[in-house]
A and B are shown apart, each in its own frame.
Chain A
Amino acid sequence: MLLATLATLMVPAHAHAQGGRKLDIQPQHDLLFGTVIAGVPARTPPVDGARAGQFALTGPNRSTVELVFSLPATMVSASGATMPLTFGASDAGVSATGAITDQVSFDPRLPYTTSLSKTGRLTVFLGGMVTPSASQRAGGYTATVTLTVAVTSL
Chain B
Amino acid sequence: MRIASALCAGLLVLWTGARSLEGQTTNTVNASAVLGVQLRVRGLSDLDFGTVVAGTNKTVNIQAPPADATPGQFSIDGEKNATVLLAFNFPAVLLSASGKTLAIGSWTGCQSTSNSVASCTPFVFGTPLNLRPNNGKLWVWLGATVSAPITQAAGSYSGTVQMTVLYTGL
Contacts and interface: CB of A to CB of B under 8 A. Distances in A.
Interface of A: 1-2, 5-6, 9-10, 12-13, 16, 22-38, 40, 42, 53-55, 72, 75, 83, 85, 126, 128, 130, 132, 136-151, 154
A29 B31 CA distance: 10
B151 interface: no
Given A1-B1, A9-B8, A22-B22, A37 B167 contact: yes
A54 to B, nearest CB: 7
Contacts of B30: 30-31, 142-145
B35 to A, nearest CB: 5
A85 to B, nearest CB: 6
Interface of B: 1, 3-4, 7-8, 11-12, 15, 18-19, 22-39, 79, 82, 167, 170
Given A35-B79, A35-B170, A142 B25 contact: no
A138 B18 CA distance: 49
A29 B29 CA distance: 7
Interface majority SS (helix, strand, loop, mixed), chain B: mixed
Nearest to A12: B15
Contacts of B24: 23, 148-151
Contacts of B7: 2, 5-6
A5 B4 contact: yes
Contacts of B25: 23-25, 148-149
Given A1-B4, A9-B11, A27-B27, A137 B32 contact: no
Given A24-B25, A145-B30, 19 more contacts: A1-B1, A5-B4, A6-B7, A6-B8, A9-B12, A10-B11, A23-B22, A25-B26, A28-B29, A29-B29, A36-B33, A36-B36, A37-B170, A38-B35, A40-B167, A141-B32, A144-B31, A151-B23, A154-B19
Contacts of B32: 30-33, 75, 140-143
Contacts of B22: 22-23, 151
A58 B4 CA distance: 37
A147 B26 contact: yes
Interface centre among A16, A29, A72 (most CB of B within 10 A): A16
B27 A55 contact: yes
A141 B170 contact: no
22 contacts: A2-B3, A6-B11, A12-B15, A16-B19, A26-B27, A31-B32, A32-B31, A33-B31, A33-B33, A34-B34, A34-B170, A35-B170, A83-B35, A136-B35, A138-B37, A139-B34, A142-B32, A144-B28, A145-B31, A147-B28, A147-B29, A150-B24
